Structure 1
Amino acid sequence: MAKEILSEVNDRIISLIASFVDRGIYNSERDFLIKNGYQTSKLSEIKSQKTNFKLEDVRLILTIEPEVSADWIMTGKGSMYLAGDNNRSDYERLYWDMAKKYDLANEKVIELNNKLGEAQGELKAYKQLVSSQDTSQSSFSLGCKVAEDKIAYEREKK
């Protein structure tokens, strides 16, 4: 009985994801998985009954798509979407899509700032290395110049 209930919940969530795609909220099932932090193999594993959606998955879906009916996901009773939200307006779709893109862009900015910090540290270390080599090089050049001058002076003396 428990397996049957899990299977029904899995089927409803798969239908829900298909509905998201049909409504243009996501470009594909894969898009849904990636944007929400799932491994891309998650749906195929569920469809082949190797695993099931967990309570955390239901919570995530209800958090990112608040118009979805929790009752429908868990029991199949009622409609997939809460009353009055059956059809998201274009504005709502655009808002949620932009909010998700903003979150992804923000994550990318953080990642790039971290890389920039690392690169700046490497650049500083490189400058210090080059600076120490320039000092050694300058001392060497100065030493060569002094030696050349001494040789020239000795030649002039003769």
Structure 2
Amino acid sequence: MGVGISVLIGLTLAANPSIDLPILLGENSDGTFPIWSLFMFSPYLYFVRGFSALRRMKSGEPPYSEISEGFGWPCSLDKLPPGNPAIIDCTCEMPRMLEFTGNHAFLCIPTWDTRSPQPADIEAAVKWACRKRAQKIPLFIHCAYGFS
């Protein structure tokens, strides 16, 4: 029980706006988590995924919303529009879904929910997105709570 509380306290501190340390969860730039992180944080990671799925079901949120032509937010592979989109994942607490591996170019910018990425991360994501758009690849942004 003490370990679980220690993990929750660590996550709470890491998510505090004055600390803002999403790297604590160990998410890689390809959206995967190392085994140690999955083991250590699995109750939290799977709670967040389940909570988000229930929230989406209850709210009736559409499967994706177009932000601008060729830009949108996916919630699952079967709900993506066609075109083999590149995906920028702006979450640190949502492990990359296995169905998004393979054909989809993927960049993870770990960011706590309700926060914005660091300026250097935004710049890196914009450059990556511009390269994909220059190749005529649609771009989708994944965040825990995207709004239409």
User: Do the structures match in fold with TM over 0.5?
Assistant: no
Q: Larger relative CO (CA 8 A, sep 6+): 1 or 2?
A: 2
TM-score (norm 1): 0.26
TM-score (norm 2): 0.27
